[in-house]
Structure 1
Amino acid sequence: MYQKRQQKVLNALKERGCDGLVLNAGPSLAYFSGLQFHLMERPVVFLLVAGEKPLIVVPALEEQKLDTVDFDLEAISYHDNPSRWQESFDSACRQIGLPGLKIGFEPRQLRMLEYGYLETASPSTTYTNADEAISQCRALKDSAEASRMQKAVSIAQDSLLAILPRIGAGMSEHQVAAELVIELYRQGSEQPLPFSPIVAAGSNGANPHAKPSRRLLRQGDLLIIDWGARWQGYVSDLTRTFAIGQVDHEARRIHELVLRASAAGRTAARPEIPCSAVDNAARSVIEAGGYGTFFSHRTGHGIGMECHEEPYIHDGNESPLKPGMSFTIEPGIYLKGKYGVRIEDDVLITKDGNRSFSDLNRELLTI
């Protein structure tokens, strides 16, 4: 599997005039090699060059991870004295023939730490943005990837359902978030969670990326919960909005608008339409309801090994949707000083439309 993925990305890079790819610790390295490392002070670099055996530079304490690799891989390891690390990178660049080549990299992932060692080892190598070639591979999920994403969604949904009976007026946002994190791990989510849950009540819900606070939930609040889980390297990202007791008429009205916008976005999503069409379908419902200026973000983002990846669902993105693409649909309305509403689902484009991984009730439930 990983050899096929490596060849696919090399072919995509060749079409763009590149000779190979450099990856450091992160989701793309896991996707193309199956190897999981975290970013730390010790650099990890994977070099993939057309016609050469893949090569990885790793700290010695991580070498045992290479025993799981199912393809031919060269490895150069180093110990903990940083003054000797450059020697390992010099050797790696010579061995794989990096001097003079044009190599793709991920601008949002490769750090100056790794780049500095590579540039010193091979100053004649040029580097170019490989995001498009990488996303051409990663954006199209196969059935195994889709199954993992479905499991990640199921864990997330089961976790929220388990704690809902314990949520009520008098609890703090922080307490709700803590209960949810514990339950996510109890239900089987892998570490780390894709992100720290957002729990935002009342006026805090008007901030789309609010951080859970010590604010207590009160009668009449709208409560936004945005959370996710991880399963075998793939993640989920969901949002539901709840009522704490009776809420006012406008709160119910904006929830109904967001609910309809969510349905419109899910109905629009199908192969070959541009990403912008999904955004427009959801946004037009909220605009028609008179709240367009209060929908302050894109309708969605790709999801898979990362919580945010290609494709991005926003106005102006004319890239066509393809079977296998997965992304969120998450319209929202945010009224500063009052409250907010967001409903978020994870969907997969199929050959004749889409299916939602998530099926948790989207209605305004009172808790």
Structure 2
Amino acid sequence: MNGTAPAPFTADDHRARMERAVRQAADAGLAGLLVAPGPDLTWLTGYTPPADTERLTLLVLTPDRDPVLVAPALEAPDAERAPGAPALTLRDWTDGTDPYTATAALLDPAGRYGVSDNTWALHLLALQRALPDTTHASLTEALPMLRAVKDPAELDLLAAAGAAADAAFEEIRTVPFAGRRERDVAADLAALLLRFGHQRVDFTIVASGPNGAHPHHEAGDRVIGHGDMVVLDFGGLKDGYGSDTSRTVHVGEPTAEERRVHDLVRAAQEAGFRAVRPGAACQDVDRAARAVIADAGHGAHFIHRTGHGIGVTTHEPPYLTEGEEQRLVPGMCFSVEPGVYLPGRFGVRIEDIVTVTADGGRRLNDTARELVTVE
């Protein structure tokens, strides 16, 4: 998708985001930010250039001038139509000219700049040749919370994406599982996400039986059988904002052990959710969920962090993991998704997107967390 973001944000919204980014950059000791095509550029300006362009496109944010978007002339018309275009200056360049010299003129020759993580090495190295005394830092490392706190409009979009993913789950639980390949059920899930309003599907994990013990299993040709536990993890982008939810279903009646493990993960997920509140550290949520699983003797079988942020991408800061002391504030959104994975046997994961409120947390997913049986 090129041109403008589908979300309903105005030039003033994008101007405020760019001003916030400049302030945060200054607080982090940076001379400014260099933002290449990707989620940061879309969030800041509403502009999404062609994904495969090799020509330099770069948003330059510094405290001493208005935002400048350096872009190739042949793509300038799309940039001019972006929602954030009135809040910035467009400087286009034509093939056969040197865009790096023009961009270098906007920068402090000895400054330190935050650079978006997906900037092409080709472009950054060329800028370094033009300004050899500048230094750079990864934007995720320098400003990890830049997009983390969502405004009310963003929260509405995330809630709508979560509701669409929930609708997909309610539909998928009614289709046959037994006798079908994992990839067939995954294709059904992808089609349902699109039917319920997603423009992009990022992942549809369908992990049956022993494959469920691999958290990021790629749906394959394994035929799902009666008696299988099946982990479903799926999401994508709807109107520019992400969904991501996991539920674990069982084909036919589960064994007592399978029910115990599922109930354990459900209790851990509830404990993680209850730990969400303003002022708590990200690691507190991880610790709350992990303690429930560890106390039941399955600590070694919970092999990933408890959660990750979500917004204009389906994975972004903050990360709910041990050692992350970032404090939660209202408007942050992230997954809470503990799991237990028994190698060679089965796995269980339950995941909701949660937003921090003034006095706790609110789930953006609402489907049953109890063990659902399918045919």
Is this contact kept in 2: 1:53–1:74, CA < 8 A? no
The residue correspondences of 1:294-313 to structure 2 (distance < 5 A) are: 294-313=301-320
Is this contact kept in 1: 2:164–2:196, CA < 8 A? yes
* Residues 244-283 of structure 1: CA deviation (Å, up to 9, x unaligned): 0122222111101001001111111111011111111111
Q: 1:150 to 1:202 in 2, by over 3 A?
A: same
Instruction: Name the counterpart of 1:5.
Output: 17
Please state whether the residue corresponding to 2:160 is helix, strand or coil.
helix
Say yes or no: does 1:43 pair with 2:59.
no
* Residues 105-124 of structure 1: CA deviation (Å, up to 9, x unaligned): 13x32221220222233323
Q: 1:320 to 1:260 in 2, by over 3 A?
A: same
Is this contact kept in 2: 1:45–1:114, CA < 8 A? no
C-alpha displacement of 1:33: 1.1
For residues 170 and 266 of structure 1, the distance between their equivalents in structure 2, rounded to whole angstroms, comes to: 36
* Residues 170-221 of structure 1: CA deviation (Å, up to 9, x unaligned): 1110000111111211211013x2x221111000000000000011110000
Instruction: Name the counterpart of 2:109.
Output: 99
Is this contact kept in 2: 1:55–1:92, CA < 8 A? no
Q: 1:263 to 1:157 in 2, by over 3 A?
A: same
Once the two structures are overlaid, the 10-residue window that deviates more, 118-127 or 6-15, is 118-127
Instruction: Name the counterpart of 1:268.
Output: 275
Instruction: Name the counterpart of 1:26.
Output: 38
C-alpha displacement of 1:132: 5.0
For residues 126 and 285 of structure 1, the distance between their equivalents in structure 2, rounded to whole angstroms, comes to: 45
C-alpha displacement of 1:55: 2.0
C-alpha displacement of 1:296: 0.5
For residues 137 and 73 of structure 1, the distance between their equivalents in structure 2, rounded to whole angstroms, comes to: 22
C-alpha displacement of 1:158: 1.0
Q: 1:72 to 1:59 in 2, by over 3 A?
A: closer
Is this contact kept in 2: 1:22–1:47, CA < 8 A? yes
Instruction: Name the counterpart of 2:300.
Output: 293
**Could you list the runs of 4 or more consecutive aligned residues of structure 1 that deviate by over 4 angstroms after TM superposition?**
none
Greater helix percent: which structure? 1
Match of 1:183 among 189, 192, 195: 192
Please state whether the residue corresponding to 1:229 is helix, strand or coil.
strand
Instruction: Name the counterpart of 1:138.
Output: 147
The residue correspondences of 1:98-177 to structure 2 (distance < 5 A) are: 98-106=108-116, 108-132=117-141, 134-177=143-186
For residues 47 and 218 of structure 2, the distance between their equivalents in structure 1, rounded to whole angstroms, comes to: 32
For residues 3 and 155 of structure 1, the distance between their equivalents in structure 2, rounded to whole angstroms, comes to: 30
C-alpha displacement of 1:24: 0.6
C-alpha displacement of 1:360: 0.8
Instruction: Name the counterpart of 2:243.
Output: 236
Instruction: Name the counterpart of 1:14.
Output: 26
Say yes or no: does 1:54 pair with 2:67.
yes
For residues 47 and 99 of structure 2, the distance between their equivalents in structure 1, rounded to whole angstroms, comes to: 20
Say yes or no: does 1:361 pair with 2:368.
yes
For residues 135 and 318 of structure 1, the distance between their equivalents in structure 2, rounded to whole angstroms, comes to: 12
Say yes or no: does 1:217 pair with 2:224.
yes
For residues 323 and 107 of structure 2, the distance between their equivalents in structure 1, rounded to whole angstroms, comes to: 41
TM-score by length of 1: 0.93
Say yes or no: does 1:71 pair with 2:87.
yes
For residues 38 and 247 of structure 1, the distance between their equivalents in structure 2, rounded to whole angstroms, comes to: 48
Identity %: 37
Counterpart residue identity of residue 62, structure 2: V
For residues 305 and 23 of structure 1, the distance between their equivalents in structure 2, rounded to whole angstroms, comes to: 15
For residues 182 and 346 of structure 1, the distance between their equivalents in structure 2, rounded to whole angstroms, comes to: 21
Once the two structures are overlaid, the 10-residue window that deviates more, 198-207 or 305-314, is 305-314
Please state whether the residue corresponding to 1:272 is helix, strand or coil.
coil
Q: Which runs of 5+ in 1 are unaligned?
A: none
Is this contact kept in 1: 2:281–2:324, CA < 8 A? yes
C-alpha displacement of 1:76: 1.6
C-alpha displacement of 1:90: 1.3
* Residues 344-367 of structure 1: CA deviation (Å, up to 9, x unaligned): 000000111110001111111100
C-alpha displacement of 1:38: 4.8
C-alpha displacement of 1:93: 2.1
C-alpha displacement of 1:234: 1.0
C-alpha displacement of 1:15: 2.0
For residues 262 and 316 of structure 1, the distance between their equivalents in structure 2, rounded to whole angstroms, comes to: 19
Q: Which runs of 5+ in 2 are unaligned?
A: 1-12
* Residues 58-107 of structure 1: CA deviation (Å, up to 9, x unaligned): 2344222222223132222334xxxx36x12212322x24433322113x
C-alpha displacement of 1:232: 2.2
For residues 97 and 247 of structure 1, the distance between their equivalents in structure 2, rounded to whole angstroms, comes to: 63
Is this contact kept in 1: 2:237–2:313, CA < 8 A? no
The residue correspondences of 1:271-282 to structure 2 (distance < 5 A) are: 271-282=278-289
Instruction: Name the counterpart of 2:327.
Output: 320
C-alpha displacement of 1:133: 5.2
Q: Alignment length, in residue pairs?
A: 358
Is this contact kept in 1: 2:59–2:68, CA < 8 A? yes
For residues 331 and 344 of structure 1, the distance between their equivalents in structure 2, rounded to whole angstroms, comes to: 7
